[in-house]
Every structure is written in C-alpha cells, then in structure tokens.
Structure 1
C-alpha cells in the first residue's frame, strides 16, 4: 500500500486488564482494509483494487470534546507508520478496528493529542527499522505512550455478511487522567431499526483526512492529509444488520454533518453516550457516500472483551 512516507484499583480484571463485569441487559470488496500510511507529501487512496480504511468529512475540529479518542500509529509489511483511530474503553485498553491490528509489526504508538499537526511534516517518531516496526524502547525514549495490538480471535473484515472488524491495543501504562468510553449493552442498536434508524443521528470521531477543495490546482474536493487533527461530525442511519451499522456520510445531506474517510478506521460511533460501533469501511474514494461500521453491541464482540 502506498500513502504518506516514511511514514490497582482492586477490581478483578480480565486478560486485557479490563474490569470483570457482565454487560447490560460485500457485493463490494472490503473497502477499508488498511489505513493511511504517512509518506513525504501525498496520500494514496487505492490499494489492490480497494480503498484503504476510512476520515471525517464535514463536521468540525473536536478539540477536547472526546478526550478518550486516540490516534494510533504502527508498521505493516515493512512500511509505516500507518494511522488509525481508537477509543479508550478501560484504563489499559483501546478499542479499534481489526484491520488496524492484524499483521502489524512491533508495538503500536498511541496519542490522545487532539492536534497532531496543522501542516507537514509528520511530527510523530519513525521506527528505526521499518521491518521490525516500533519498539517499546524507542517509543519510551521518545516519551510516547504505546501498547500491544491484538485482533479479535474471530476477526473478519472480508465478509460483510458476518463482519467482525474489531481489535484492541493493550496499553503498557495505565491512563488515569481520561475517562473511558462506555460500551453499549448487547443488542442496544436493535431498537433503532427502520424507520427509526433514518431519523437517528450518530456521532462520529476520528483522526482521518478532511475532504475539501485544494488551495491550488484542481478544485474537485478530495481527501487532504493535513491538518492531522481529531474531528467530529454527525451522520444519520441508513441500514442495520446483526453485525453492521451503515450511515449516510454525504455532508450535503441536511439530516447530518458528514461521515468518515481515510484514517478514521477504528474510530468510535457514539449514540446516547454509548460507544455502539467502530469505523470499518466506505463505498467510494471521496468519502461522500455510505459508510460502514462494525457494531460493538454484539455478543460476539463483548464476550471476547468481557469473558
């Protein structure tokens, strides 16, 4: 894939360091299989006939409204750093997309800064050896938070009929200054089936590219790599299946503010204060159509997170 270059509280815990508790009672190719890779100047949108993982189109800078949403960076196949978005769900665990954790090299860099860079160059550190990826030693030397990526044991982002595009980052150090997001109870989204779904606005957050007209050259709106910041928008429901939530991501739809695009993969979808889904895929290269999100209010996801 081408892209940007080079690029003790006393509670019982599960294997991911999360508190033990019970939750409340593709005709198309997988468009967002991978994430944005930072290269010297431009962002590539195409890989192997599919588009990389979706960024917020429309919307506005998030600032400190969602401090528990992070940017994660990592290496894959000797290239990187790639970036995705993720959400803190416990002091030591971030929830993200499975395709942001499968096959990565080394450990994963994590930052909760709402503004990464207003303009080039990419300010985060690069791995000394891209084939090895980030090491804990070099990220600690650079004073960067890091964690270990793990994909769901039944991860699947190739078959939309049973999508399970979920992974986690288990942090080396506890985050005690940020309140984790709350996972929706199992089956929470089932009450929002049509016709209620299209009248429901979901909140999206991520560090992906903004779609806008270039300052010079062709004036067709396109994904822009900078500023690299946390953004947020709203999007109305379009379709709900047992595994997938699809939203209408066109910023010209007067029911919502936009959708997701390249780099938002793994970022959260919020509804009524609950984390209900993570960004997984999209249907076109200019991020102005329907976007797909992996539901996390499923037993398949939550039985793995909270066994």
Structure 2
C-alpha cells in the first residue's frame, strides 16, 4: 500500500532521487492501464471518513484523470496532498465506499470533455467538490517549504466522521531515540504489490480489488520541519506494509489523530513513505482559515 524517499544531509541526496518517481507513485493517473494500491495492508472498514477522490489534472502531458486518497477534517472539507489538487480542472468526484471495485474497472465514467474535467451535471447525485491547493506548495522544489497540501471543499456537507489534527509540534516532542519505536497508521486506496497473472513474476503494483486499506509503519530518520518518513517494508516486524500508487493524500494517524498526509514514495512501493506533516503552523493556520470560511 505504500512507498517513500529519504533525506537531509544524506537525506537530501536520497530525497532528490526519490522525487523523480514522486507523481507517478502517488497521484495515480487513471487511464486504460489499471491504477494502483498498498504494499501489504489490511482491508479497512473502520476509517469511514477516508475518501477516494478522482479529478482531471492539467500537466505537461495534457489533461489526465487522476485518483488519490483524502481525509475528512470537517463536514465540508477533505484534506489531501497538494499534488492531488494542483492543476485540477472541473469538479472532483468523491466516494467514501470501502470497496471501489473488485475489478477490472472502477465503473466511474470519464468526463465528456477531459479538458474541462467533471461538471456539476455529470456528477449530479454524487458527492463532489472543488479542489484548492496550499498557497505555499512548492511542487517539490523546496524542501524547507514543502507544503504538499490540498483540500476538496465539498459542495454539500456529509455525515461521515471527521478526524482531528494532531496538536502543533506533536512530532517534535518525540525524542530521537524513540522515533523508530513510534508506529503510525496510513490509510488509503492505493495499489497492492503482487505477482501478475502472466509474464515475469516480479512483484508489481496491482490495482484490483480497489479498496481502502491501512498499514502500520515505524517512523525513521530525523523529523524535519515539513517532512517525516516511515519505513514501509512489509517484511519489517514492527509494521505491516507501505504506501503505493493511489495512496497520495491519504491520512497518516498517530494515536488516532492526523499527523500527516502521504506525500511521496519509491517506485517499488516499499521501504520509504514520505509524509507531509500537518502538526505545523503552515498547515493548521491555512486549514483553520479554510474551514472557518466554508
């Protein structure tokens, strides 16, 4: 279910290498080829305020449909990753179903005009919203001002449970020696690593069944102001798996509170899970202004 990158000092060098795979790993393009999920992981019916979101995003290769995960922080606001909202055109489709599809397709029709994305008419009767991106989102160019945060402001309130953000500086209070002992839980609709039905039996991301899953992961490395990493190795006895394609924007919980959002990972959906912190003023001040305005 998950993946990541490393860094600072040595961490900065490793992070630069991981960024080359960033968008392809977590904001998953939904085209003819199957989309993707988690490394390891457990089917989840508990976190019913975690959503699957689908949008059309304008990028270097044109406008493409993309899917991510998100978490409800108020009845009208879903928190997700900035790279899941940046460049979105039209409306965003939202589903809180624990299982999207057993396969081989999601069943969600494409927009009639991808250049303008989903319209309100096309999503009539569905949960939908409008994407906004953190004004300080650096598009992964500034590690000091990462701000990989976005929201979907819903067109109508929903009744699913909302989740609290961890208090300011929660991660900073963890002593360095206790970091690898700290277990976080990531939830999302990402791919699962498995062997294909035919051809070379190399583990590969598999999209279906497309469902919500969770994994537990130990933190690792130094806790930076914007980013913290977790070890998404499904063979690590301390955890149960890692992040993968489609998990972008999904919440990362510590003691039942949202401590971060899945931001980036490695190509093989193993080992490193890059997490955008939300226990920082840059995140919480922005979200407070948003939620008070809607």
TM-score bracket for the superposition, by shorter chain length: 0.7 to 0.9
Which structure 2 residues correspond to residues 35-54 of structure 1 after superposition, within 5 A? 35-43=27-35
Q: Distance in 1 between matches of 2:102 and 2:64?
A: 20
| Maintained 8 Å contact 2:137/2:145 | no
Distance 1:218 1:172, change over 3 A: same
In the alignment, what sits opposite 2:102?
Answer: 118
Over aligned residue pairs, what C-alpha RMSD do you find?
1.5
Which structure 2 residues correspond to residues 160-175 of structure 1 after superposition, within 5 A? 160-175=143-158
Q: Distance in 2 between matches of 1:253 and 1:279?
A: 19
Q: Residue 274 of structure 1: which of 257, 261, 265 is its match?
A: 257
1:157 Cα deviation (Å)? 3.5
Q: Distance in 2 between matches of 1:201 and 1:109?
A: 31
In the alignment, what sits opposite 1:106?
Answer: 90
Unaligned runs of 5+ in 1: 1-25, 44-53
More helix by share: 2
1:138 Cα deviation (Å)? 0.9
1:73 Cα deviation (Å)? 0.1
1:79 Cα deviation (Å)? 3.5
Which structure 2 residues correspond to residues 283-294 of structure 1 after superposition, within 5 A? 284-294=266-276
| Maintained 8 Å contact 2:37/2:207 | no
Q: Deviations over 1:99-146 (max 9, x none)?
A: 001111111110001100111122112101001100111101xx2110
Q: Residue 76 of structure 1: which of 39, 52, 57 is its match?
A: 57
TM-score by length of 2: 0.87
Q: Distance in 2 between matches of 1:136 and 1:149?
A: 13
TM-score by length of 1: 0.83
In the alignment, what sits opposite 2:48?
Answer: 67
**3-state SS of the aligned residue for 1:153?**
coil
Q: Distance in 2 between matches of 1:164 and 1:268?
A: 15
| Maintained 8 Å contact 1:56/1:205 | no
| Maintained 8 Å contact 1:32/1:265 | no
Structure 1 position 261 matched with structure 2 position 244: yes
**3-state SS of the aligned residue for 2:171?**
helix
Q: Distance in 2 between matches of 1:39 and 1:152?
A: 27
| Maintained 8 Å contact 2:37/2:210 | no
1:58 Cα deviation (Å)? 0.6
Decide which moves more: 95-104 or 214-223. 214-223
Structure 1 position 228 matched with structure 2 position 237: no
